[in-house]
Structures are given as C-alpha cells and as structure tokens.
Chain A
Amino acid sequence: MRLPERQLAVLEAASATDERTMDEIAAETDLKPETVTGAAFDLRDEGLLAVTETATEVAELTDEGRDYVADGLPETRLYRAAVDAGAADGAVPMGEVIGRADLAGPEVDIALANLPRKGFGRIDSGELTVDPDADPDADPEAAALEALADGESVDDEAVLDRLASRGLVDLAERTTRAVRLTDDGVDALMEGVEAAETVGQVTPELLASGEWADVEFAEYNVEADAPAVEGGRKHVLRRTADRVKDVLVGMGFQEMEGPHADSDFWINDCLFMPQDHPARTHWDRFALDVDPMEDIPPALLDRVETAHRDGWGEDGDGYHSPWSEEFAREVALRGHTTSLSMRYLSGYAGAELEPPQRYFSVEKVYRNDTLDPTHLLEFFQIEGWVMAEDLSVRDLMGTFEEFYRQFGITDIRFKPHYNPYTEPSFELFGDHPETGEEIEIGNSGIFREEVTGPLGVDCDVMAWGLALERLAMLTTGAEDIRDLHGTLADIDFLRTAEVSY
C-alpha cells in the first residue's frame, strides 16, 4: 500500500490500544495540527483510523480575572481593610475603609456587592461591620481563579458559572479529537505501507505516463502573493463610451460620424449661433490654417444667412449681428458634435431623413480652454437627438429620464435654460449616485425653427449633450481628468481603475 507521506506519518503515530489526541500526534510527527487533522480524516475515510470527538467545557481567565489573581478579589481587599480599620469590633464609616482598601473606580461597587453576599459582613446606613470569623482564604471563587491561573481545571460548575457571570472567566466548548487504529489500519501497517513520492509541477510526462495517480503533490503556500500580471485593458473612457453607446442603441439611436475639422457654417451658423457670439471669438475656437470650405450647398447657405439676418417665418426676427459668408466658410476644429447633427438633419451626410429618427454620437470636441483637473482642450461629447412630428417638452423629459436611469441617476430635474439653438431649453441636474451631491448632467432642448427650418426639417427635433468625461469621473472616482485622458495619463491608473459595466 502507498500513502502520501503525511498520512503515513499519522498512521504510524496512532495506536490500536490508546486514543491519541491530534495534538499528541502533531507533536510526535512534527506536522501542523491542521495537517494532522486533514490526514486523519483522509485515513478515516480509507477505514484505517477511527476518529472520536469529545466536547469539553473550558474555562479561561479574562483580563479582569487575571488582575484579581494578582491583586486579590475586591471584596477580599475590602474585608481586610475593614478588619484593619476595626470594623470587626463595631461599625466603621465606609469612606474610611474604602480609602484604606485602595479600590479603584468600579472595584468599589464590586466589593460592596460581593462582601455581604459572601457573608464577610454587612453594610448599614453607610457604615460597615465585618464578621471577624469570616475566612477569605477559604473563598472557593478565589481558589478557582488561582487554579485556572495555574493551568489546573476546576470542576465546581456553580463556582465557574458565578465567575463567568462576574466576567472573570470565559466558558467555551472545545472539541478534542482523538484517533485510534482500526483493525484494517493495524493490518495495513503489518503488511507494510510505503510513502508516495511528492511532485512539484504537473508535467506532460506525468499526465501521459499515468504516474499522476500515484504521486503526492507538494503543498504550496496558497496564501502568498503571486507575481503581478498586467493584461491589456480597454481604456476606461472607451469603456464608459461603450456603455453609453449600448444604452443609446438599445433606445433606438443610430450612430453619426463626420469630420473633426469643419467649417464654421456646420459648427455654428446652422445652429443659429450669431457670428459675434462670445463663443465664436478666436479665444474659444481652434481655427485651422487651411483654405476655406468651398462646397457648401448654396441654397442651404442662403437659408441659413436669411435666418440670421431676418429670422425664420412670418413673425421671426433675425439677429442684429454681422454675418459674413467668409466667416461661415472658415475651417476650425469642432467645438461640439452638433455639427454632425446639422449634417445629418440637412441630408448632407447621406439620405434625406424622414421622421421618426433617433441619432447619436460619442465623439471628440475641441475647446480652447485652460487645462486643469476638470477641463481638457479635447474631450468627448455625448450628443443625441430625436426627430418626430409634434414632439413636446414632456417627450424630451421622458427620453432623458430613461437615458439617465440606465446609469443609476433617477429623479433628474429640468431647469429652464437658454441656448441660442434650442427653445425651450433645459439644464439637467441629478444626484450623484454615491455622494448625493447635485450635479449638472447635461443640456437639452428642442431645436429652434431658425435651426430646423433652413435645414429643410419641418417637424420637431429635440436634442441633448453631455461631456462623457463627466460620466466617467462619476463612475471611476477620478479626481483629475488628466490622469485619464491624453499623453499625461498615468498607466498605473489605467491599469487599476475599476471596471465599470
């Protein structure tokens, strides 16, 4: 017969005549007690050992109990002090005795409660009288504490219960396991048992030869740290973008795409942004050193110019701002992806669109701003719109409530707002899912007729926008956006940021 080495050791240490405890076997075999226990149960399953379990109550001194072993029980100390003070001969004021007994804080109450109980004396109207015949040295509670402190056992359960209720000992049940060789075990040993070989690693040879069945696998320290493994990961912002895209596709939105460098016509003029709007000054935009855009549909260009100069519709007023075609044709990096919405709504990006339609993009935009923990020169904008007949503010609210609910943001609030390109317009606010703080989570509205009219759209279009980084900072807890995005990113942050899904 072959047995793993540790099982063999336990088997050899066991006796057919005497029960031996696990601790005894562990001491003899020089194995860890838990290893011995594991091996013993394996051997029992083989029918070679019998394992018996005995439950015993074990009493252990508490810290307080140990203190009293050293100093004496408070009631004993009070009794002796009282005898010294003459309380055996007549009543003595309590204060005097307590001072003499050197009892600290709660010990006073403990002493006063236990002294009469043990018949050492009595307390009457603040005075103490003690029994001169009492013998604290014969107190079974003190004796039991001493015995426990010396590692002896105490059999008097009443005393132990009393000490436990005083908080001086803890009573616990302990299971002691002991083994004895079975007849089969004895037979096996008589016939001879060999130790099986231990193996470090499972090898192809081991598997192919079938030797694996007879070997013992060396134990590892399974709690130790392993060398770090760095797998590749999708960028945390991309993952947030993917999640947003999943939600929007699920809500029936098609993805848009289009140029990052575009004419001011598509970026701003179509959006009914006056050409002297502060956001269109050279401070806010990244103008590019390329020639102006030549191909803009002339009829569309005319209609947009009309909207700016004279307004749209019978009762429309234009802006009292300068408007030039040259400016409209200048090429710059887009400040928002609404330029894509304009290209799609006008039919320039592909087919003419008939309602109903839903479109979105999660793409980069560029703003000439100062780089700081919450602002980047380039960031991702989530942009979405719905085109349908007779859309109302209520449809807008319902759509955005549904979108944000997907990110755990419920109870969103709509604050009336102003944008040059939407009316009515709303800023969206919600509560941070973890901190509960109120945060702005988007800007929305129904495109003005000065926007949709020139594009040739004669139904309603509601739209909204939001910075993706804002969502990502909420979901990753990043405090500095530069850790996430760009060439200043910290690779360690990217490797350890919690995966969101």
Chain B
Amino acid sequence: MPVVDVDPDALRGLTDRTEKTNEEFKEDLFGLGLEFEGETDDGELQFEFAPDRLDRLSVEGVARSLRYHYGDDRGVYVPDTNDAEWTIEVDESVPDERPYVTGAVVRGVDLDESALESLIQLQEKLHATMGRGRAKGAIGIHDLAMVKGAPLREGAERSITYRGIEPDGETFVPLDSNDELTPAEVLAEHDTGRTYADLVSEYDRYPAIYDELGLFSFPPVINGRRTEVDTESRELLVELTGTDQWTIDKMCTIVCYALSARGATIEEVEVAYADGTTHPEEYGSDLVRPNLEVDEKSVSHDRIETLLGVDFEPRDVVDCFERSGLDASYTLDEAVTYEVEIPPYRVDVLHPLDLVDDVGRAHGFDELEPRYPDVGTVGGRHERTRLEDAVRTSLVGLGFEDLLNFHMTSGEENYDRMRIEPGTDVLGGDEPVRITEPYSEEYTQLRTWALPSLLLLLEGNTHNAYPQDVAEVGFVAERDETENTNVAESRHVAGAVARRDASYEAAKGRLQAVCDDFGAELETPRTDHPTFIDGRTAAVVLDGESVGVIGEVHPAVLVDHDLEVPVAAFEFDLDALR
C-alpha cells in the first residue's frame, strides 16, 4: 500500500489549522483511512493508505481531504487556468511503444525546501503507483526559464518537441552527472539509467524531448541537468510521457492541483500530434492540457439507501457529497436521482457505486448498526471434502499422524531422490506441471505424488521419537491436455510406517483396515517400483483397478533421507474409495 510522507508544519499551513497537534492530525487522518506508520528522520509523519485515492500522495492532497473533512471546503474545486503559450509538438519519429505525451506550465511558483521535497515525492509516488514504475507514465518537471522554445509551426508561440532518436543519436548532460552522454550511454553508465534501462532498451528509437537548444529530457529515464528545478525556480514546465493518455493526463492533473495549492498559477499547453503519429482516439490529435474537466455520473437515492441500509433525506445525501468534495443536484421526482460532479483529480470513481462509498464514508460507516441478514439458506459440505475427512479419520484411528504438506516441490525431491523418472509408468512418474519462473529451487513444480513429502518430513524429524507413522490425504497434479486447465488434479491417500519393526505387513495391515472401512476390495499383486525393495512391492488394486503402490522403501532412498529405521509405505488414488 502507498505511504505518504507529510510535513506536519506544511499540513498546518495548508489546512489553516495552526493549532492542530500532530496527534490530532493522526486521529483525523485515521478517520479518512490514512494510518500512521511512523516518523521519518526529519520529523515527517508517514501514513499508509489504500491505493484508491492517489490524489493523497502528497501533503497538498492530504490537506485538501482534511479541509473537506473539517467542513472548511465544500463541493467541487477546479483551479483557474491561463491560456496556452507553449505547445508540445509530437513528431512522427516518436517511439511506437510510448506514443503519448501531456503537460502543463506552472507560473508564480515559490518552492521552499519542504515544498520542493513534497513535489519530488509526489512525482516518485505517482511513478510507483499509476505510472506502474514509470512504464505506463513518467513525469518530468523542468525550470521553464532554462527551456528555449522557438515556434515550430504557424500559430504556436513557443514549443518543445517529443520525438524518438537513435540510442546514440545525441548527447546531453543528465541529472547527477557532469558528462555529455548519449541515451544509450545513460542506460549503461548512469545509476538512474541502469535502474530504468529495462523500460526502453528494447525500443528501436528512444523517447526524447527537445527545445530549440536540443535534447533536454530522456523520458522515462532521466531529465537533463540544464533544466533542473531548485528552490529558486519560479516557473515550471511539466511534461509526461506514457503508454496511455488518460493515465498521464490524470497524473498531470494531480501534480497541477498540488502546485496550485501552493499558490501557483496553472497555464495550459497545447499538445499537437503530427500526422502519422498515434494519437489518443477519444481526444483527437490536438489537445489542450491539463485536462481539468469535471466528470458527471448519476446515482439513484434508492441505491444509496439499499446499499448502506440507511434511510436518508435527499438534502443529507447532498451534504455528504459536498463534504466529499463532490457536487450533486437532483429533482424531486418520485424516484430521486442525483447528478454528481466529480473533480478531475479523482482517479478512483469508475462507477456510481464509488459515489455511494463516498456517501458512506461521509456519513460514517461507524454509525451503521450491524444486522444479521434475514435470508434463509441451507448449508452443507462438499462430497469430496467429506470423503477426504472420512479417510483422515480412519488413518488417525490407525495411529497415523495426519500431515499437511506443500503442493509445490522440486524435480529432485519428486523424482530423483525417489529413484524414479518423469514420464515413466510407475506411481509418481507422471509428467510434471512446472512453474515458469520459480522463485526458489525448492519449489519448481507441483508434486505428482505425496510419498516424497512424507519422506521429507521424516527426514526433518530424525531427532524426534519413533515410531513415526505419518499419513496424508492430499493434492497431486500432472500434465493432462484433456483437461481444460491442461492440469489433472487429484487427491492421493499416502501412509508411511517408520519404526524399528516397520515391514510390508505393517503397511498392508493398515491399508487393509482403511479399505475395509470404505468397503473396497483390496488385492496386492506383485509389481516393480524403483522406490521400493524388489520382491516387497505390490500394486494397490481396489475393486479390480490398479490405483496405487505399497511396499518397503528401498534402503538407498532411506539412506539418502538420513533415515536409520525401515519405512513401509503405501499410496493410492482417493477416488478409488468412492
């Protein structure tokens, strides 16, 4: 879950609540779903919250939510914007993999250290969340005074260009460096470049932003040093590139709201997609950004009442909306429906249901009285789990310790250490279902049988007292193209008797008892299985069908598992007891 670092002094300033203590803020924010996690070294408060309200990723957004919570602000707020002077031209050389760009100009900025830090934090947190680690959207913020824009086409006053370049097609000095590097060199030599190299290394052309003086930003990797922002910067250029226009527009909007809360003025920019470029279908090729349009959705009074289980007066519902930073109007017809306006920084409202949630939060979910739903249904267990349980009860009655082992294992445990091979016609020899990118060498496939798990457990318990009679009714799986999932899943019954006097007879006596419990007729014709001793191995044949194996485990397997007692074991398919 995202964590936001909040400077409590900035929060007091932005909420006009100079009298609030840190403790009071923690309590108020808990009510909004931001949970206090701790303090940073410089005394900032850290809050964790669910990743829906990404507009709260900086102190400015947190303050805005609090002002609504305190009732200081009501309804939708949209900052005023000045008309565009700058244009972002999108050149047809732009990389196909990252076609979209957006941006804004921000003037009259007065950033102290804390405000600058907050801006950088917001940028990084947006990268991590909506930006999907910069892959979907990346933000570059520049000192506009250092950008030189000459009009590239008629009608535009000043412009910069988003284009694609050869990996070694140009040099610039990136942030945190003194060297003129090409984009390819940045990926190879610069720390930040190496971190984000995977995002663009497969591209034919690399994303680049140019002004009249040349390359000044290499999104989504790093900005150039020339346009670096510091506390002296008064005017900013914000640009975002990405794989989805809506996403980068929303990220841009959240940044603009934060800077506006610090007293800056937002100025529009035009985004001009050249012929031959991929432009966002829903917006056309000429855009004016940031997009601060208010969205509208309608929700019925009845839905709010049934979902929250509370009767409301329409004016109370409108009050809840306004205290959530939304506006709502309705006509008093027989069925009241609210037309709700949603400010552009909200990225979480996908459906009218989300508006009901806002009403619930503003009303206070704590206020709701729980009630047990007056709905009658009949309960019951699934036949398969009842059968499994009945077999477990039988095994436990015979003195077996019931086990619960992992379903994932390795080829070494499943086959090699049991002296069998995949693709052979013995129990356990089925072809494995493998994990494509295993995290650990110990868990690379699903087990095809359960006995290896039992032996692993015995191996790990040689320090404990014997006898150790263990059993499991558990999941096994093999490849099977006749299944819709291409995996055949089943349950096996496995038992192992580990004790000084463990013998074939000891295992068979117990197996017989289980089979008798379920009315299954057991025969044990002689068979061969590499895990067991020749001449002391039999097939488990239940009601005429061969469904498993029983025998004395081969000394080579025992010694390999550090076992100094004999082990006799059986394993068969649970379905045979049905």
- A residues sitting closer than 8 Å to B (CB atoms) are 228, 230-235, 237-238, 242, 245, 248-257, 259-263, 276, 278, 282, 286-291, 293-295, 311-313, 315-322, 331, 333, 356-358, 364, 366, 368, 371, 376-378, 386, 388, 390-395, 397-399, 401-402, 414-418, 423-426, 446, 448-450, 460, 484-492, 494-495
Contact = CB atoms under 8 A, between A and B. Distances in A.
Contacts of A366: 407-408
Given A260-B489, A416-B365, A491-B461, A315 B382 contact: no
A485 B474 CA distance: 13
Given A254-B380, A320-B246, A233 B348 contact: no
B435 interface: yes
11 contacts: A252-B378, A287-B435, A315-B297, A316-B351, A320-B244, A321-B244, A357-B377, A371-B440, A394-B368, A490-B461, A494-B401
A278 B51 CA distance: 11
Contacts of B366: 414
Contacts of A377: 406, 408, 439, 443
A415 B33 CA distance: 7
A276 B134 CA distance: 13
Contacts of B457: 487, 489, 491
A487 B460 contact: yes
Given A232-B395, A399-B373, A487-B453, A248 B379 contact: yes
Nearest to A250: B379
A397 B370 contact: yes
B389 interface: yes
B33 A417 contact: yes
Contact of A238 (B392, B433, B469): B392
B475 A364 contact: yes
B6 to A, nearest CB: 19
B381 A235 contact: no
Contact of B369 (A390, A394, A449, A450): A394
Interface string B158-182: 0000000000000000000000000
Nearest to A277: B132
Nearest to B354: A423
A318 B246 CA distance: 11
Contacts of B399: 230-232
Contact of B433 (A261, A282, A319, A322): A261
A234 B392 CA distance: 7
Contacts, number: 264
A368 B433 CA distance: 16
B433 A397 contact: no
Contacts of A261: 433, 446, 477, 485-487, 489
Given A260-B407, A377-B443, A491 B470 contact: yes
Nearest to B436: A287
A232 B469 contact: yes
Given A393-B309, A398-B371, A450-B351, A288 B434 contact: yes
A264 B376 CA distance: 33
A265 to B, nearest CB: 11
Given A289-B434, A311-B350, A392-B306, A418 B379 contact: no
A356 B376 CA distance: 7
Nearest to A234: B402
Contacts of A317: 349-351
B309 A418 contact: no
A424 B53 CA distance: 14
A315 B299 CA distance: 9
Contacts of B395: 232
A495 B481 CA distance: 41
A388 B477 contact: no
Given A288-B434, A487-B405, A491-B470, A232 B396 contact: yes
Interface of B: 33, 50-53, 132, 136, 243-244, 246-247, 297-299, 306-310, 348-354, 356-357, 360-361, 365-366, 368-373, 375-382, 384-385, 389, 392-393, 395-408, 433-437, 439-440, 443, 446, 453, 456-457, 460-461, 464-465, 467-471, 475, 477, 479, 481, 484-487, 489
Given A249-B381, A494-B401, 16 more contacts: A235-B402, A238-B402, A253-B379, A255-B385, A259-B489, A260-B489, A287-B437, A288-B436, A291-B486, A311-B350, A377-B406, A392-B309, A423-B353, A423-B354, A423-B356, A487-B405
Nearest to A401: B370
A488 B307 contact: no
A269 to B, nearest CB: 15
B460 A235 contact: no
B400 A255 contact: no
Nearest to A369: B439
Given A287-B435, A390-B306, A392-B306, A416 B361 contact: yes
The 7 A-B pairs of least Cβ separation, nearest first, read A392-B309, A418-B50, A397-B370, A394-B309, A290-B486, A418-B52, A249-B379
Contact of B484 (A248, A295, A423): A295
B479 A315 contact: no
B365 A426 contact: yes
A495 B110 CA distance: 68
Contacts of A489: 403-405, 457, 460
A448 B437 CA distance: 32
B382 A393 contact: no
Nearest to B352: A315
B377 A253 contact: yes
Contacts of B484: 293-295
Contacts of B373: 386, 388, 391, 395, 398-399
B165 to A, nearest CB: 25
A291 B470 contact: no
A356 B375 contact: yes
B481 A358 contact: no
B351 A312 contact: yes
Nearest to A282: B437
Contacts of A312: 351
A425 B309 CA distance: 15
Contacts of A228: 465
Contact of A288 (B356, B381, B435, B469): B435
A418 B348 contact: yes
Contacts of B348: 418
A388 B375 CA distance: 8
Contacts of B310: 392, 394
A238 B404 contact: yes
Scoring A232, A262, A321 by chain B CB atoms within 10 A of each residue's CB, the highest score goes to A232
A113 B374 CA distance: 79
A242 B247 contact: no
Contacts of A395: 309, 371-373
Given A233-B402, A490-B464, A491-B461, A251 B379 contact: yes
A252 B373 CA distance: 12
Given A253-B379, A254-B378, A394-B370, A486 B405 contact: yes
Contact of B460 (A291, A356, A402, A488): A488
Given A257-B384, A446-B307, A290 B377 contact: no
Given A251-B379, A424-B360, A235 B464 contact: no
Contacts of A232: 395-402, 469, 471
B22 to A, nearest CB: 21
B379 A254 contact: yes
A417 B50 contact: yes
A448 B353 contact: yes
B406 A486 contact: yes
A200 B243 CA distance: 89
B407 A313 contact: no
Contacts of B397: 232
Contacts of A289: 433-436
Nearest to B359: A424
Nearest to A388: B375
A286 B379 contact: no
A415 B375 CA distance: 25
Contacts of B50: 417-418, 425
Nearest to B1: A418
Nearest to A287: B436
Nearest to B395: A232
